Structure 1
Amino acid sequence: MATQAHCAFAFECLAASFEHRQPLRLRQVDELWHRYHDEDLESEQVHEGAQPEDEESDVTDEDVRPAAISRLPNHSSAPSAASSESSLPISTRSTASSTPSSRQSGSGTDTPASSRSSLLSTGRSGQEKYPLFVTWNTNSRGGHKSLRGCIGTFEPLELENGLRSYALTSAFEDVRFSPIPDSELPSLSAHVTLLINSSQPTKDPLDWTLGIHGIRISFTLQGRRYGSTYLPDVAMEQGWTKEETLVSLMRKAGWTGSSSRWAGAWKEGRGELVRYEGKAVGLHYNQWREWRVWASESVGVRSEALK
């Protein structure tokens, strides 16, 4: 499952591109993210266990002092390029089958504790391979969320390279939007979805479960092949039924027929559906910025151009 550390890495890659520097490695971000929240948790536990001033306490300064933080090793890496057709960027809400190249948790985010437990299963090296999507949203002061870019791949990629590549591809190359400028950074939230449990293609367009499965469809009409996908959270966010989701997804792929004839078009086009799973995890800019300032002050990680 994706974690908030993955989202922090997406922010790190985007900010580094604006600042013309190398981003931290995923392993470094992961380590610092957990140290940051471990210190926060330790501080809260000390505060909750504090005794009144008129009572004696056996707690000493040594007992509550945060663990020492070592300086990060120096690493650098460059993103890898996708090399096969199945690893080409895929937009989750475009009308084409493919495209060219604060610590609090909000909706769609995981808690530090769940992030820690998730990383026990995914590991911390960044070498695990996953199909993945990176989504950028803008958030208004009134709390309204608007899509700003969402592109991913169904080809399993090494996590570090995949997140770095698609954090930037989603920000700069989603053809539905203009590239994200650095001035928009404070309004953004990053969402990462790691895809798992992909099924074999089925002819049944309703062989999936709302709220659990994302779906990827393909069909051919009059010599033209159509294809598109929705991540698992899309249908629930929109309040769609399964039929409404299929119609919307077919239209997203470019089909322009009547919504009442979708089933006939599906059958005529020999439609195929692949279902998959994956939970989107999100992080707001302010949460990333607080962590990044802490990283700079604690271990000397540069935080130039932080807004």
Structure 2
Amino acid sequence: MATQAHCAYAFECLVASFEQRQPLPLAQVEELWEQYHASSEEDVENEGDGELERDETKNAYADKRATALPAAILQHVKDSAVSSDSSLPSITSTSSTSSRKGDVGTPATSQSSLSSLGRGRPRPREKHPLFVTWNTTSRNGDHNLRGCIGTFQPQELEGCLRSYALTSAFEDHRFSPIPASLLPSLSGHVTLLTNFSEPTKDPMDWTLGTHGLRISFSHNGRRYGSTYLPDVAKEQGWTKEETLVSLMRKAGWSGSNSGWARIWRDGKGELIRYEGKQIGLDYPEWREWRDWVQDGGVRHEAQN
């Protein structure tokens, strides 16, 4: 199942592309994400003990957090980041998008830096089919799709996440490329796909809210195909029939609403169902974590 650390890595790759730097490796993001939330839980547990004066508490807090991240990690973060007081460039051009898309593996420099950290938890080279989705949130709280692209071919997780985080942000033909100015309103979502069924000719052989759909069908000598992730139909409040008609129209079919069933009755349609829980993360949550990493694991107290 996808995790928020996977979403954090998607944001890391997207922001790194704007800042023209290499992103932190996925394994490092996962470990630092875990450390960040562990430190947050410790802060909650320690609230209200009141045994130290404010200055003493602040000093002890800083001393404790200063050792949270090994020096090698801090150096790697420092080397890979832009100045903390510089703003993100407003990049809207896609002239370098193709080079971003092609560079889907972890760079050699990042791999060597990762090795130098002496990490004690080797990760298996997991392979997954997945989708990366970007949404924006308007001032009135409405969520709007801004990009969603993925693959049904199992691929190595780190490279696949990096590739589709950028491809869905910059190359979804339904939208203009995401500019840096939209980052504050952005949320990133990752869905790892599992439990694929065998193809079926029955268009109703699936469950609302549980299954994603991948369909293919023929009409007037032309082949069509499209997919909806498991959460789409439920979020839209569609029935099964409404979902199928919408999915067929998404594929480019322009028949009548009553004509969809004929295609399936004639045996010209095929459906594969799959599962996958979408996990999301908002940019402000990622930014807070990334500032914590940049500052060496020190969580700053809010100013009164």
TM-score, reference length from structure 2: 0.77
CA distance in 2, matches of 1:51, 1:23: 40
The aligned residue for residue 6 of structure 2 is 6
Q: Does the 8 Å contact 2:202/2:264 carry over to 1?
A: no
1:36 positional shift: 0.5
Residues 82-101 of structure 1: pairs in structure 2 closer than 5 A: none
Give structure 2 stretches of 5+ with no counterpart: 53-59, 81-102, 107-120, 299-304
Letter aligned with residue 252 of structure 1: K
The aligned residue for residue 189 of structure 1 is 187
The aligned residue for residue 79 of structure 1 is 104
1:74 positional shift: 4.9
Letter aligned with residue 226 of structure 1: Y
Q: Does the 8 Å contact 2:189/2:279 carry over to 1?
A: yes
Instruction: Give the 3 Å change call, closer, same or farther, for CA 126–251 of structure 1 in structure 2.
Output: farther
The aligned residue for residue 232 of structure 1 is 230
Q: Does the 8 Å contact 1:126/1:159 carry over to 2?
A: no
1:150 positional shift: 0.3
Task: Give SS of 1:28's match.
Answer: helix
CA distance in 2, matches of 1:283, 1:210: 24
1:80 positional shift: 4.2
What is the alpha-carbon root mean square deviation over aligned residues? 2.5
Instruction: Give the 3 Å change call, closer, same or farther, for CA 33–14 of structure 1 in structure 2.
Output: same
Deviations 1:116-136, CA, capped at 9 Å, x for gaps = xxxxxxx97372000000000
Q: Does the 8 Å contact 1:16/1:23 carry over to 2?
A: yes
Give structure 1 stretches of 5+ with no counterpart: 54-60, 82-122, 301-307
Deviations 1:231-262, CA, capped at 9 Å, x for gaps = 00000000001111011101111111111121
Task: Give SS of 1:298's match.
Answer: coil
Task: Give SS of 1:260's match.
Answer: coil
Aligned mate of 1:212, from 187, 210, 213: 210
Residues 113-132 of structure 1: pairs in structure 2 closer than 5 A: 125=123, 127-132=125-130
Q: Report how many residues are paired.
A: 250
Deviations 1:252-306, CA, capped at 9 Å, x for gaps = 1111111112111223362110000000000000000000000000169xxxxxx
Q: Which moved more, 1:39-48 or 1:141-150?
A: 39-48
The aligned residue for residue 285 of structure 1 is 283
1:227 positional shift: 0.3
CA distance in 2, matches of 1:127, 1:74: 22
Q: Does the 8 Å contact 2:69/2:297 carry over to 1?
A: yes
1:69 positional shift: 2.0
Instruction: Give the 3 Å change call, closer, same or farther, for CA 142–215 of structure 1 in structure 2.
Output: same
Q: Does the 8 Å contact 1:221/1:269 carry over to 2?
A: no
Q: Does the 8 Å contact 1:220/1:269 carry over to 2?
A: no
Instruction: Give the 3 Å change call, closer, same or farther, for CA 29–52 of structure 1 in structure 2.
Output: closer
Deviations 1:194-230, CA, capped at 9 Å, x for gaps = 0000111001101100111000000111210000000
Q: Does the 8 Å contact 2:137/2:185 carry over to 1?
A: yes
